[in-house]
Amino acid sequence: MDGFINLDKPLGPTSHDMVAYARRVLRQAGLRQVKVGHAGTLDPSATGVLLLCLGRATRLSEYVMAHDKTYVAHIRLGESTTTYDAEGQVIGRHDASGVDLEQVEAVLPRFIGQIDQLPPIYSAIKQDGRKLYELARAGEAVELVPRAVRIDRLTVLDWSNPELALEIVCSSGTYVRSLAHDLGQALGVGAHLVALRRTRSGRFDVAQACTLKQLTDVEALRAQLVSPSQAFGESQMIRLNAAQIAELRLGRPIIRSAEDERDWVLALDEEGAAVAVLRPGVGRWWPHKVLA
């Protein structure tokens, strides 16, 4: 039970609710010892690709989370909210009837490329050990620090003033709520995110995702498991023999080719099972995470 499940998260539940559901299924089959986590949180109001991590794959969540994402965002112009989405309180209204598609497409290039993005005040980013949304709800001062993110493509899928459907291809860590808010500011009328669907996360596409209704029992979970080797692809992996694996388990490095410029690799045994994540050193691969 080591691998990832590509789940099409429904509207309403939290990402943690999806983890709890998988745990219940495993408990009912007597598999309490199997760890479950997720990679890349989706808000309750968002749907689409949510990666559940089972067993040893829970220790690989940071690596699948780091991959680029694709979203379809529905944005409403003319209203700004406290949370930058439909869950928040409306704090500004402007007439957006004069905005046309040409104006929208004219400002989109401002957000393409490497940009500094301010996260929403209501977010899980931590300040002095506490989440920003906890500080905001308590009425305490929140210090927003810009974060470097990358947006590769913005494509208008539908336009019916004042609503806009936008496909976004971006780096991990990009806040689509902030993009919606900033787009509204650039147009001078304000905006907020109405709905969000994640259609891709790295190699995982929503077209191949399973639904919650399909995960009825442990065999259904097992049938949907994607192994770490499938999740990362051959370009990010190396295969080791038993002697090399023994060295890694003792915390010792193994030889790395001088031409290899990868910043990490997933090490597999001769049967294709993931055994460790390796980081580069001078002429060596060092064990960063050894999977028990």
Torsions phi, psi for 210 (to 5 deg): -95, 160
What's the rounded Cα separation, in Å, for the pair 13 and 4? 19
Torsions phi, psi for 197 (to 5 deg): -135, 125
C-alpha dihedral, 40 to 111 to 88 to 189, nearest 10°: -170
Q: Which residue has the tokens 């869950």?
A: 87
Torsions phi, psi for 74 (to 5 deg): -105, 120
Q: Which of 40, 108, 109 is nearest to 70 (CA)?
A: 40
Torsions phi, psi for 253 (to 5 deg): -80, 165
Distances from the Cα of 184 to the Cαs of 91, 173, 181, 261, in angstroms?
13, 20, 5, 41
Q: What is the DSSP letter of 292?
A: -
What's the rounded Cα separation, in Å, for the pair 25 and 45? 24
- For residue 130, the Cα-to-chain-centroid distance in whole angstroms is 21
Alpha-carbon torsion (12, 14, 15, 17), positive or negative? negative
Residues serving a catalytic function are 43
